[in-house]
Structure 1
Amino acid sequence: MDSLKLPRAEYQDRTETLLSHAHADGYDAVLLFGSLNIQYISGMYHLPTERPVVLAVTDKQMDIVVPRLEKEHAERDSFLIDDVHVYFDYPQGQPMDRVVTMCESLGIADSTIAVDTDGSPGRNGYQGPALSELLPGTVHTEDYITSMREQKSQSEIELIQEASTWATLGHRLLQERIEPGRRPIVVSTEVEAEASKTMLDTLGDRYEMMNWSAPMMCKFTTGEVTTRPHSVDQTTRIQSGDTIVTIVKPHVSGYTTELERTLIVGEPSEEQRHYFEIMRESQEIAIEAIKPGVEYSTIEQEVLNYYEEQGVSEYVQHHIGHNIGLEGHERPFLDLEYNGEIQPGELYTVEPGFYVPDVGGFRHSDTIVVTEGGTEMLTNYPRQISELTITTNA
C-alpha cells in the first residue's frame, strides 16, 4: 500500500461517532485516559507510564493533557488535537489538577462527562484521585471505543494485510533457522533483527514505530514446553523429534496480525502426524464456519464437536480465537459464552489447538477478515505437515 497511515478523515469520523454515542446517552463530552483509546480517536500514540495522558473530546475542540516530555510529540500537525496542556511530571506536576483546568477551559467541568476510566490507570506506581472526585459535574464510565474497535475500516484492514504479508517473511526466516541444539530465544532474536531490517529497508520512511515492540516479533517454544500455550520458556534447547509452536506478529502503524504454525523437528512420528492432522482439520472447520450472522459460540461448538469425535477434547486449553487490531487480543471472542453474531469487518485469529502431554502442542493460527460473503485469509503460509517439517541430519 502507498501509505502506512490512516487518513485524517478517518479520525474525524471516529470522533463524530464517539460523540454521537455519548450525546445519545446524555453526555456533553468525553475524556479518555487509555493510551490506545487516545490513539484511536486522535492519532496520538505514546508510551503509557505513571504519567497520566488525558484526551478531552467536545463538539468544538479536542484538547490533551500531557507530561512535559510528550509536549512536542503531542503538538504534531498529524494528530487531531487542537490544544496541548502541559504539566512537568508525576507526582510533582499535579497532573489531575491540570486535567481539571483543561475541563474548565473547555467549559465542561460542570457537565455530564463519559470516561473510559474514572481517572488515570494505576500503572508504574501511579496513585491518583478519581476524576469524579475533582470535577463538580457528573462522571460515568462507558465502553464506547472498545465497541467501535470491533469492526475495522477498509484502511485498518489494509494495514493489517500489510502486516500479514510481512508475517510470511518472518516465519520463513524462522523456519529456516531452527535446528537441534539451538535455543529458541537466540533463533528468535536473530530472525527478528533480520526481518525488521528487511521491513525497514523496504518500507523506508513510510514506517513509523508507535511502541517499544520491534517491527517484527518471531518467537516459538519447543518440546514439552509447547504443552503450555503461554509459556515464556524459550531457553530449552531444540531436540530432534520436538514439536514446535511458533508465533509471528509484525506491527504496521500500530496494527498487528498473527501467524502461528506447528512444526516438527525431524521425521514426524505417527503420533505427531495423527494429532497434527486433527489440528489442521479443526482450523479448516472453524474458518469454514465463520460467516456474517453466525453466532460467535457456534464456531467453537463446531470445533469442540469435532474434537469430541476425535477423542482429543481433554487436551483443549483455550477457545477458538479472538479479534485483533491495535491489540493482539480484542473482542469479540470465538467462545461458547460470548453472545452475539459475527459481523463484516471483524478480524479473527483462528487458532483452535490442543496440547498432548509427552507429545506436544498442536496449533495453527491465521488472521482472517469477515466479508459480506464469508471470510478472506490475510495470512498466507504453508499448513501441511510435509511443508512444516524441519529436516535434520540426526
Structure 2
Amino acid sequence: MTAGPITREERALRASRAFEHLPQPLDALVLFDDQYILYYAGFAFFPTERPVALVITREGERTLFVPRLEREHAQQTGEAEQVVDYPEFPGRPHPMQHLGDLLARLGLASAAIGVDHDGYPSVMGYDGPALSTQLGNARIVRVSRALDHQMALKSPAELELIRESARWGAYAHRLLQDATHAGANEHEVEAHATREATAAMTAALGPSYRGQNRWISGATALYRGQIGPNSALPHAMTTGATFQTGDVLVTGAGAAVWGYISELERTMFVGEASAEQQRYFQHMLNLQDIAFEALKPGKTCASVDEAVRAYFGEHQLNAHWRHHVGHSLGQRIHESPFLDIGDERILEPGMVLSVEPGLYVPGLGGFRHSDTILITETGMELLTDYPRDLESLTLPAQVHA
C-alpha cells in the first residue's frame, strides 16, 4: 500500500489528546509554531510576518486564526472546525487584538491557556504585543516541552511515512553517488540526483502526493559544501565545488512525504582513502555502532551521548568532537529529545531519532554517517538502509569512457 496523508481522524485525536500530555490542567491551547499547527490541524503554510495561530479547546475543538490572504488556503487544506481571519498586519487594530477578541468570544478571556510563545514570535520583521496583554485575567503557561513529547511518539501512520521517506532518500543518495567523480560539479550532481529521484518518487506515489515539508522538497541528495577540506565543517554551505581525487565527501539525503522526513548521511571518498582517512573512518563507524548498542527503551538520551563521548576520550579524539550524537525528527528536520549529555529524557518506543556522531579533522576531512532509527520495545530498528562500509563508499578516481 502506498503511504498516504495523516487522516483527519488522527489529527483530531491528537488535538484532544494533547491535554493528556500537559503537566497541569488547562482550558485551551494557543499555538503559533507552524509545525504544531500542521501536526494538530493539517494546515501546511510558510510563516511570514502575518501571525497565524491555532486555538484548541479542552473538548478538542480547533479554530485557525489566519490573515485574510490565507483564509481560502486554510479552509481548503486545513482541518480545523472553523477558520477566523483578520485583515492584515500590522493593521488597525493589531492582529494580537483580533486574537484576544477571538479568545474572549470563545469564553477564554480568563482561562488557563497553554502556549508555545506568549504571542507571535519575531518572523520576517513581525513586531507585536504579548498575547497575555490582550486578555483579561487569563493565565498563560508555556507547554512546548509537553507537546514535543507527544510529537516524539510516532504513530503507525507516521512511521509508514518516515519509512517511505527513507526509501526515497536512499534512492536519491544512490543517484548522487553514481554521478559523483573527479571533475564533476557539486551543483550539477546535486541537481541531477534530486531531479531524477523526485520525478521517480512523484510517479510512484501518484498525483495526490504532497511533500508538505518546510525543509525538504521532493527527494533530495546533497553535499551542502562538505567537500574536501570543507567536509571538516559540520554545517558548511555549498560553494559549487568541483570534485577532486582525494576529496572526503559528507552527504545528506532525505525525502518529504506528506510532511514527514528522514535523514541519511554518508562519508565517501573520491579515490582510495589515505591510511589516516581510513583510520578516522573506522573510528566513526565504531562511534555509530556504540550509539546503536546504547539505544534502548528506558535508557536516557544522555546515556547514549555519554557512551559515545567515552570512546572519544579513550582514543584521544576529543579534539575532533563537535556535536552530540543525534536528535529526534519527523515533521521537523530537528525535533526533541536530543541525544546529548544534557538531556535526561527517557527513550520510549515510537521515538524516531538520527544517529550521527562525527569526527572533524581540519585539513583532512569530516567523517560522519547519519541514520534514522526507531526505538522499539526491545532496542532499536534501523529505518535507513544504505551501505556503511569503506569499500562501498569509495568512488573511482577516474571515469572511464
Same fold (TM over 0.5): yes
**8 Å Cα contact 1:19/1:58 also seen in 2:** no
Please give the alpha-carbon distance, in whole angstroms, between the structure 1 residues aligned to 2:308 and 2:385: 22
* Match in the other structure for 1:269: 274
Aligned to 2:242: 237
How far apart in 1 are the matches of 2:351 and 2:327?
10
Of 377, 394, 398, the match for 1:389? 394
Please state if 1:209 is matched with 2:211.
yes
Shift in Å, 1:21: 4.4
Aligned runs of 1:147-158 on 2, under 5 Å?
A: 147-158=149-160
CA contact (8 A) 2:26 2:58 kept: no
List aligned pairs for 1:130-209, cutoff 5 A: 130-138=130-138, 139-143=140-144, 144-209=146-211
Query: 1:146-178 CA distances to partner (integer Å, 9 max, x unpaired)?
Result: 221122111111110110011110100000111
Q: Does 1:255 align with 2:255?
A: no
Q: 1:332 is paired with a residue of what secondary structure? A: strand
CA distance in 2, matches of 1:165, 1:192: 14
For the residues of structure 1 that align with 2:137 and 2:20, how far apart are their CA atoms? Answer: 20
Larger displacement relative to structure 2 (202-211 or 317-326)? 202-211
1:311 aligns with 2:311: no
CA distance in 1, matches of 2:372, 2:110: 45
Determine helix, strand or coil for the equivalent of 1:256.
coil
Aligned residues: 392
Report Cα offsets for 1:322-376 as digits up to 9, x if no partner: 1111111111111112113211111111111101122100010100000001111
Moved more, 261-270 or 207-216: 207-216
Alignment partners' CA distance in 2, 1:118 and 1:173: 45
What is the CA–CA distance in structure 2 between the aligned matches of 1:175 and 1:21, rounded to whole Å?
A: 43
CA contact (8 A) 2:162 2:257 kept: yes
1:25-61 CA distances to partner (integer Å, 9 max, x unpaired)? 2422111111111111111111111011111111453
Q: Of 218, 221, 224, which residue of structure 2 is paired with 1:218? A: 221
Structure 1, unaligned stretches of length 5 or more? Answer: none
Cα pair distance change 1:11/1:359, threshold 3 Å: same
Contact 1:151–1:345 (Cα < 8 Å) also in 2: yes
CA distance in 2, matches of 1:132, 1:90: 19
Asked if 1:352 corresponds to 2:357, the answer is: yes
Q: Distance in 1 between matches of 2:21 and 2:304?
A: 30
Instruction: Output the CA distance in 2 between the equivalents of 1:38 and 1:367.
Output: 24
CA distance in 2, matches of 1:272, 1:140: 51
TM-score (norm 1): 0.95
In structure 1, C-alpha distance between the alignment counterparts of 2:198 and 2:383, rounded to whole Å = 20
Check whether the contact 1:183–1:234 (CA below 8 A) recurs between aligned residues.
Answer: no
RMSD, aligned CA? 1.7
One-letter identity of the residue aligned with 2:181:
E
In structure 2, distance between residues paired with 1:216 and 1:137: 48
For 1:293, the aligned partner's letter is: G
The TM-score with structure 2 as length reference comes to 0.93
Taking structure 1 as reference, are residues 210 and 374 closer, same or farther at Cα in structure 2, changes over 3 Å only? same
* 2:16 corresponds to: 16
In 2, Cα distance between equivalents of 1:35 and 1:215: 20
Give, in angstroms, the shift of residue 218 of structure 1. Answer: 1.5
Unaligned segments of structure 2, at least 5 residues:
none
**d(CA) in 2 for partners of 1:89 and 1:218?**
38
